[in-house]
Structure 1
């Protein structure tokens, strides 16, 4: 027997986690090997420096990324996904797959209309 109230809470927790325009693109960028702030920023068209900084701080607080500071000159900061963050990878891949199929379906539907 399914517990609908618990399922709703779990769904809301997931939506909160991925909520907003930038969270998934930032996770995707970091998981694809972009480790430095500017690399991440350049890999996500349209994101502002301020928004990326905010997202990275929130992600660090929520155990999604680790932040390592190297005392070079200039100071070097790198971000890496945690195992917890990587556990979301299969969901992201499925969302990408679904999004591609959805786009094809919508475009085909538009092409079929007179």
Structure 2
């Protein structure tokens, strides 16, 4: 990731950034939404595929998180014309704007895990 020189943070710009962070965290709150978005950034998936791909998430929680992400226009639920009827979830164009964020979070998590393991 390239370093961009930032202007010194004034009280106003700092407050705006903090407000923007809070807005982002409100949309992506919880333990699972970023993982769901990260999965769907690569390919559309069915409910059962997401349930298998995200270790530890319950079916009830997955349903709730998918609805929240759909309400925020980050994903779309598609009912497929099959027998039996199947449902697929895919990232929207707007949701794709979070792909870089999920990659940065993943990279930081890998570095953090390595650092913590080395400290033991």
**TM-score scaled to structure 1, two decimals?**
0.88
1:49 equivalent to 2:90? Answer no
Number of aligned residue pairs: give it.
110
Measured against aligned partners, the alpha-carbon deviations of 1:16-46 in whole angstroms (never above 9, x if no partner) come to 2221011111111222325111111111111
Shift of residue 7 of structure 1? 1.2
- Which position in structure 1 is the counterpart of 2:92? 82
RMSD: 1.4
Residues 70 and 77, structure 2, Cα contact 8 Å, conserved in 1: yes
| In structure 2, C-alpha distance between the alignment counterparts of 1:90 and 1:71, rounded to whole Å | 32
Partner of residue 11 from structure 1, selected from 9, 13, 21: 21
| In structure 2, C-alpha distance between the alignment counterparts of 1:57 and 1:11, rounded to whole Å | 22
* Unpaired stretches in structure 2, ≥5 consecutive residues: 1-8
- Runs ≥4 residues deviating over 3 A: none
Shift of residue 76 of structure 1? 1.1
Residues 27 and 72, structure 2, Cα contact 8 Å, conserved in 1: no
* Unpaired stretches in structure 1, ≥5 consecutive residues: none
Residues 34 and 40, structure 1, Cα contact 8 Å, conserved in 2: no
| In structure 1, C-alpha distance between the alignment counterparts of 2:78 and 2:36, rounded to whole Å | 17
**TM-score scaled to structure 2, two decimals?**
0.84
| In structure 1, C-alpha distance between the alignment counterparts of 2:38 and 2:17, rounded to whole Å | 26
